[in-house]
Every structure is written in C-alpha cells, then in structure tokens.
C-alpha cells in the first residue's frame, strides 16, 4: 500500500487503495514484492542493529574507557548515523526490486512519456531474481542503486528517530530498579520508536519510492531534486505526506517485534555465554 500510495496514480486515500488493489489483483496483490525483503530482512536487521551496538561500544570505550557505559545522546546519534549510512548499501537493491515488482502493473497514462513497454500496466518482471537481473543488464550496478541518495536522506535521520526515542521511552516506562529487560517495556518502546521514525522518514520515503518506481515504463525524473520539484509542482506539499498513515501504523507492530526479538535474543545469548564460560 505504501509504495502504491506514494508512487502510484489514482489510488487516493488508504481505504481506496486497499479496495482498488483487492478488486484488481485480489489478496495476492497485497503480497507483491514480499519474497526478496523476506529473505534479506534477517541480514539487513543484523547489520543495522550490529553496527549500531558496535559503534556505541566503540564510542564508549573511546570516550570513557568502558564499552558498557550508558551511552550519551551524542554517542547514540553518531551510532544511528553510521547504521543508517551502512544500511543503504544493503537496503537499496532490496527496496528497488520490491518497488519495481509492486509498481509494474501500475497503469501509466502520461501521454508524452517515452515508454519502455508497448503495454503499460502489463507485468515486466517474472519475479525478484528476474527483476534484479534485468536491472543489472539494462542499467548496470548504478541502476541497482537507483534512489540511494534519497534512501540515505531517509535512513540517516530515520535511524536517529528510531534508536534514540526507543532508548528514551524505554527508560521512561521501565520500573525503577528493574535491571532485566522487561518484555512489555521493550515492545511498547519499540513500537513508539517505529511510529516516530516512519513519521520522520515519510517525506523522503515518497521521493525514494518515486525514483525507484520510475524506470519500469518511463524515465520521468532526472534525479532527486527534479523528483521533489515535479512532485511539489504537480501535487503541492501534501504529496510528501503520502503513505504517512500506512507507514506509522505499520511501523508500530513491526518495530515492536523487532526490538523485542533483538533484546530477548541478546539476553538469551548472554545467558548461554555465562553458563558456558568456566
């Protein structure tokens, strides 16, 4: 829904988008482009959380001589920026394939567009592997990283608004004297962090989606600035809020589950390490 609302035409609001997708493509339409992100999400999340944690420990060791010291706001911000920058290297091709697969049946009606397919709205890619192979063959490595600048501008502030609110909200709702991670506090703090992060990310997420969807049938945008200017000229400032509701509603449960899984897995591994260490 998020991709179609941001980069598609004629979907209107969220409810209309749901009904249109279901009417035209049945339930299968809601799962388009899912396989590639599903396969890669483990690696992607491991890199993001691992880089964030490792950077925090490095900064704590560098500044305070103890990697276990409670990180400062500055350290969390720097760690979030590093995680956001490195995540783009993995995330851009995955997001590109997902977006292309979801948008390849989108009707394209711009009369003066130079179309790559004689039948706009007909499937171009047979699946994620075929999609990635086609992109690499026609556009090269640079094509696989289309929209990477927009993703960088989305993810760097996005991860700052992800990890920092999580730590602050978790500390706020955790009972005093509670040393062991509390599952409910983790779940609630993770959900709030996800909603806040996606609210911050949505404007640049719109630009990213449009740049990556561009190229299935046409080449409408010359770059990130041109995409922003065309979007604003055609639809006004409200265009940068497209998909905000879907993003925030999706962000709460997905991030709540992500942080809960991360914290409890970390606790379990520390317990195993303690038991196996003589």
Does residue 9 belong to any structural domain of this protein?
no
The mean pLDDT value for 36-61 works out to: 85
| Residues 127 and 177 grouped into a single domain | no
With bands split at pLDDT 50, 70 and 90, how would you rate the model's confidence at 112? Answer: very low
Do 162 and 100 sit in the same domain of this protein? no
Per-residue pLDDT tens over the stretch 201-235: 999 999 999 898 886 666 788 889 999 999 999 88
Whether 55 and 170 map to the same domain: the answer is no
Q: Predicted confidence band at 127 (pLDDT cuts at 50, 70, 90)? A: confident
Q: Domain holding 217: CATH number?
A: 1.50.40.10
Please indicate, yes or no, if residue 168 is contained in any of the structural domains: yes
Q: What is the mean pLDDT of residues 242-256?
A: 90
Domain boundary among 90, 110, 141: 141
Q: Does 24 or 55 have the greater pLDDT score?
A: 55
Residue 237 banded pLDDT, cuts 50, 70, 90: very high
Same domain? 43 vs 129: yes
Q: What pLDDT score was predicted for residue 278?
A: 53
All residues at 6 or more sequence positions from 30 whose CB lies less than 8 Å from its CB, including other chains: 1, 21, 22
What distance in Å separates the CA atoms of residue 186 and residue 244, rounded to the nearest whole number? 24
Domain co-membership, 180 together with 270: yes
The pLDDT of residue 103 is 78
Are both 135 and 64 inside the same structural domain? yes
Structural domain count, the chain: 2
d(CA 262, CA 158): 19
Portion of the chain with pLDDT greater than 90, in percent: 36
Do both 100 and 120 map to the same domain?
Answer: yes
pLDDT for residue 174: 79
Out of 107, 126, 141, a domain closes at: 141
Average pLDDT, the chain: 82
Q: Are residues 83 and 96 in the same domain?
A: yes
pLDDT recorded at residue 151: 93
Q: Residue 265 belongs to what domain range?
A: 146-277
126 and 235 in a single domain? The answer is: no
**Domain identity same for 261 and 157:** yes
Domain assignment present for residue 27? The answer is: no
Q: Is residue 11 situated within a structural domain?
A: no
Do 161 and 93 lie in one domain? The reply is no
CA neighbours within 13 Å on the CB side: how many for 127? 3
Is 86 contained in some domain? yes
- Domain membership of residue 127 (yes or no) is yes
Of 141, 161, 194, which residue sits at a domain end?
Answer: 141
Alpha carbon distance 116, 199 (integer Å): 34
pTM, two decimals, is 0.81
Looking at the domain assignment, is residue 167 inside a domain? yes
* Residues, the chain: 278
Task: Report whether 104 contacts 216 (CB < 8 A).
Answer: yes
Q: How would residue 118 be classed by pLDDT, with cut points 50, 70 and 90? A: very low
Task: Place 101 in a pLDDT band, splitting at 50, 70 and 90.
Answer: confident
- Please check whether residues 112 and 198 belong to one and the same domain: no
Q: What is the pLDDT of residues 21-45, one digit of tens each?
A: 777 777 776 766 666 667 677 788 8
């Amino acid at each position: 829904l998020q991709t179609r609302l941001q980069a598609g035409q004629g979907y209107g609001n969220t409810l209309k988008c749901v009904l249109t997708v279901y009417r035209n493509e049945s339930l299968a339409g809601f799962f388009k482009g899912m396989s590639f992100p599903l396969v890669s999400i483990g690696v992607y999340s491991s890199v993001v959380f691992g880089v964030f944690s490792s950077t925090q420990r490095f900064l704590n060791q560098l500044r305070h001589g103890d990697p276990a010291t409670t990180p400062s706001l500055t350290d969390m911000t720097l760690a979030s920026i590093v995680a956001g920058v490195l995540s783009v290297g993995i995330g851009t091709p995955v997001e590109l394939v997902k977006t292309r697969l979801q948008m390849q049946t989108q009707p394209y009606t711009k009369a003066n567009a130079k179309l790559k397919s004689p039948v706009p709205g007909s499937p171009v890619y047979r699946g994620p592997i075929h999609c990635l192979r086609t992109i690499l063959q026609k556009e090269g490595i640079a094509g696989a990283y289309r929209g990477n600048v927009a993703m960088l501008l989305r993810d760097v502030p996005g991860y700052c608004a992800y990890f920092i609110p999580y730590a602050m909200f978790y500390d706020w709702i955790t009972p005093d004297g509670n040393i062991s991670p509390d599952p409910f506090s983790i779940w609630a703090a993770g959900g709030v962090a996800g909603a806040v992060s996606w609210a911050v990310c949505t404007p640049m997420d719109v630009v990213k989606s449009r740049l990556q969807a561009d190229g299935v049938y046409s080449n409408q945008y010359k770059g990130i600035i041109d995409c922003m200017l065309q979007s604003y000229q055609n639809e006004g400032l409200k265009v940068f809020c497209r998909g905000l509701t879907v993003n925030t509603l999706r962000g709460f449960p997905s991030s709540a589950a992500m942080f809960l899984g991360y914290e409890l897995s970390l606790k379990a591994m520390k317990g195993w390490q303690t038991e196996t260490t003589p």
